[in-house]
Amino acid sequence: MSQKIQTLSGYINEYQRSVHQPEKFWGRIAQSFHWQKPWDNVLSWDFKGPDIKWFENAKLNLTENIFERHLFTHGEKAAIIWEPNDPKEAHRIISYRELFEMTCQFSNALEAQGVEKGDRVIIYMPMIPEAAVAMLACARIGAVHSVVFAGFSSSALADRINDCEAKIVLTSDGNFRGSKNIPVKEVVDEALEKTSTVEKVIVCKRTNSEVTMKSTRDVWWHDVIKGQSIDHKAVTLDAEDLLFILYTSGSTGKPKGVVHTTGGYMVYTQYSFLNVFQYEQDDVYWCTADIGWITGHSYIVYGPLLAGATTLMFEGVPTYPHAGRFWEIIDKYKVNQFYTAPTAIRALQAKGLEPIAPYSLDSLKVIGSVGEPINEEAWHWYHDHIGKGNCPLVDTWWQTETGGIMISPLAGITPNKPAHASLPLPGIQPVIVDAEGNELKGNNVEGNLCIKFPWPSILRTTYGDHKRFKETYFSTYPGMYFTGDGAKRDHDGYLRILGRVDDVINVSGHRMGTAEVENAINEHPRVIESAVVGYPHDIKGQGIYAYAICDREGVSDQVLIEEIKGTVRKIIGPIAKPDEVQIVNGLPKTRSGKIMRRILRKVASKDISNLGDTSTLLNPEVIAEIIDGSPSD
């Protein structure tokens, strides 16, 4: 626990050390881990290549740092508390020793199925402990996992399988979410019709739903672990060997595979977890994310387990079977740190105070927020009614690409300021730049957020496409990592994140690329052209608004709109379904043929009093038509 900062002056000192002597700083932090062979060099980097290596030539296995490192001190401590979707079903408490045995056994099973170091394994599973076991077993044998959120459609799943040429898929016979039982095995079967690399599908029994098993390909989880030993010798990995790939949306093209490697990610997730949440030995920590997202990777599984914490995993949704479910769970397990997303907070805020009333919530010490900017109203509601006014609220800014929390208060140490992610963690050097890339020093400045020095859990590449990696993150402002976010440094030097400045929409904390949604819409046979923008949404933060030019002959707009929504749902998944679709005759375009999205954003946001300069438009007449046709409520 020596990595933990205790005071504000301690934070300031650590921060200064981390900036002036980063290698010495991270070398010291990394020493508390178990390395089979130490590094030759803490860091070598070049943001032009780009080429970034942390703990060069060190050898390790991350899971030895979860299990072998901790078992003597807390083998019987709860590693995972699992709360099922249906509160009437039994919960599970899995100790570190048991989790270790499950991981070893599944590691042996994966190897017996032919999975080797470096092979890619897709995990398309519900929020059950076996999903965490699957991730850990991959890490133990050196296979590269790629978790796909189980709400993605078969074609989104197929795209990911194809991109990483996965050898094996892990799934379940069904997925309970609220009152639904989602037939995920069918989705996998459909996806595999469009792929050719997968040799085996391992199916974990969860819902006891009837599924079709393809005899040469599909095997049951409980069958593959049968007879496998609960001992397993961890495979030796290089610090820069791939740990996982996680697909995320950007402003162009298909989702890209963000690559994280072993050593740096391990060091940073444990360090950031301990410091941001100020976790103490007997605490129960709960992050409500899904393991399909980076938050689930870093702060349900890796960070907490590396720190020897008790991490709660919840299978269900916040409103099932009632709107007080989160609060009931907090009281049931005496949760000390609670970490959720603004969209969940706003949705629960809308239910009023009644669902909270039966619960004391007095175990809470720290509450956290992640995924999107938290508006002041939601911040105060969360702080006052859930934190009861006396829990520090950590508004944590970070990204799939950053691997861990970058800018955040340290709970109880950094003074809280509503809706401000506040200050960078030690080792993180954020800068605000203007459009030309000049650093805006000092306070009271606003611009684009970049990071000018590497940190241990920075992504290393985008899978199979290093050029795209360079173009996406290091070309806008050469020599710096560009986050895609706008930010403001206020008069106190505190940072406030303003949201994306590129064509990425943040819907309920999930990233959607406008181009990706447009491509899906364009699959509808009657769609000629489309444009998608984000607009402010009371609960989701941003909603998806689509404009489509269609062949309207013989079909009503209402039917077209529903069909377009259905097409997106089928091609990407329910999270990408547009909230609004407007059928239009034309889209505002510049003389060079570029869609003027600025105008579309304003119309979607019902902010039409000043549309700005439209003199470069080729077809200004479409604007009035679009305004007339937009929903009036």
Interface ranges with ligand PRX (CB under 6 A): 248, 294-295, 370-373, 395-400, 421, 483-485, 497, 499-500, 506, 511
Helix, strand or coil, per DSSP, at residue 422 = strand
* Token pair recorded at residue 111: 């190897």
Q: Smallest distance from the beta carbon of 160 to ligand PRX, in angstroms? A: 15
How far is the C-alpha of 80 from the C-alpha of 111, rounded, in Å? 24
CB of 164 closer than 8 Å to CB of 194: no
Residue 474's identity, in one-letter code, is F
Name which of 124 and 398 has its Cβ closer to ligand PRX: 398
CB of residue 341 to ligand PRX, shortest distance in Å: 8
Number of residues that this document lists for the chain: 633
| 308/513 with CB nearer ligand PRX | 513
Closest distance of CB 472 from ligand PRX, Å: 12
* Chain centre distance of CA 622: 38
Q: Parallel, antiparallel, or unpaired: how do β-strands 256-261 and 284-287 relate?
A: unpaired
Are 521 and 565 in contact by the 8 Å Cβ rule? The answer is no
Q: Are 512 and 546 in contact (CB under 8 A)?
A: no
User: Would you say 526 or 540 has its CB closer to ligand PRX?
Assistant: 540
Alpha-carbon distance of 564 to 547, in angstroms, equals 11
Instruction: Specify the residue for token string 């393809």.
Output: 214
Q: Give the contacts of 509 (CB within 8 A, at least 6 positions apart).
A: 341, 342, 343, 370, 371, 372, 541
- Where are the alpha helices (H) located in 294-395, listed in sequence order? 294-296, 303-306, 325-333, 342-349, 376-381
Burial (CB count <10 Å: 0-12, 13-18, 19+), residue 439: middle
| Cβ(148)–Cβ(157) below 8 Å | yes
Closer residue to ligand PRX (CB): 421 or 564 = 421
Query: Which has the closest alpha carbon to 532: 497, 591, 578, 583?
Result: 578
Q: How many helices (H) and strands (E) does the chain have?
A: 20, 30
Q: What is the CA radius of gyration of the chain?
A: 24
Q: How far is the CB of 431 from ligand PRX (least distance, A)?
A: 16
Query: Least distance in Å: CB of 427 to ligand PRX?
Result: 17
Name the minimum Å distance from CB 353 to ligand PRX: 25
CB closer to ligand PRX, 207 vs 506: 506
Q: Which is nearer to ligand PRX, 142 or 318 (CB)?
A: 318
Q: Which is nearer to ligand PRX, 240 or 395 (CB)?
A: 395
CA-based nearest residue to 174, from 218, 217, 127: 127
Shortest Cβ 508–ligand PRX spacing (Å): 11
Contact 429, 407 (CB under 8 A): no
Q: Which is nearer to ligand PRX, 261 or 508 (CB)?
A: 508
Q: Which is nearer to ligand PRX, 133 or 266 (CB)?
A: 266
Alpha helices, DSSP H, located in 555-596 = 557-571
Grouping H, G, I as helix, E, B as strand and the rest as coil, residue 615 is coil
CA distance 464 to 444: 41
d(CA 105, CA 94): 15
**Look-up of token digits 């030690």:** 426
SS3 readout for 176-227 = EECCEEECHHHHHHHHHCCCCCCCEEEEECCCCCCCCCCCCCEEEHHHHHCC
Q: How many CB atoms lie within 10 A of CB 541?
A: 25
Q: Would you say 197 or 399 has its CB closer to ligand PRX?
A: 399
Looking at residue 371, what DSSP letter applies?
Answer: S
CB of 24 to ligand PRX, least distance (A): 28
CB of 397 to ligand PRX, least distance (A): 4
Among residues 524 and 540, whose Cβ is nearest to ligand PRX? 540
Nearer to ligand PRX, 172 or 249 (CB): 249
Q: How far is the CB of 598 from ligand PRX (least distance, A)?
A: 19
In degrees rounded to 5, what are phi and psi of residue 33?
-95, 165
Closest CA to 305 of 59, 130, 67: 67
One-letter amino acid of 432: I
Residue 251 CB, nearest distance to ligand PRX (Å)? 11
Q: Min. distance of Cβ 163 from ligand PRX in angstroms?
A: 17
Dihedral of the CA atoms 338, 459, 544, 179 (nearest 10)? -40
SS3 438: coil
- Shortest reach from residue 496's CB to ligand PRX, in Å: 8
Q: Which residue number has the CB closest to ligand PRX?
A: 400
Q: Which is nearer to ligand PRX, 573 or 588 (CB)?
A: 573
Q: At closest approach, how far in Å is the CB of 372 from ligand PRX?
A: 5
Q: How far is the CB of 398 from ligand PRX (least distance, A)?
A: 5
Q: How far is the CB of 424 from ligand PRX (least distance, A)?
A: 13
Contact 485, 421 (CB under 8 A): no
Q: Which is nearer to ligand PRX, 289 or 622 (CB)?
A: 289
CA atoms in the 13 A half-sphere facing the CB of 557: 12
With respect to ligand PRX, which residue has the nearer C-beta, 61 or 506?
506
Between 172 and 506, CB nearer to ligand PRX: 506
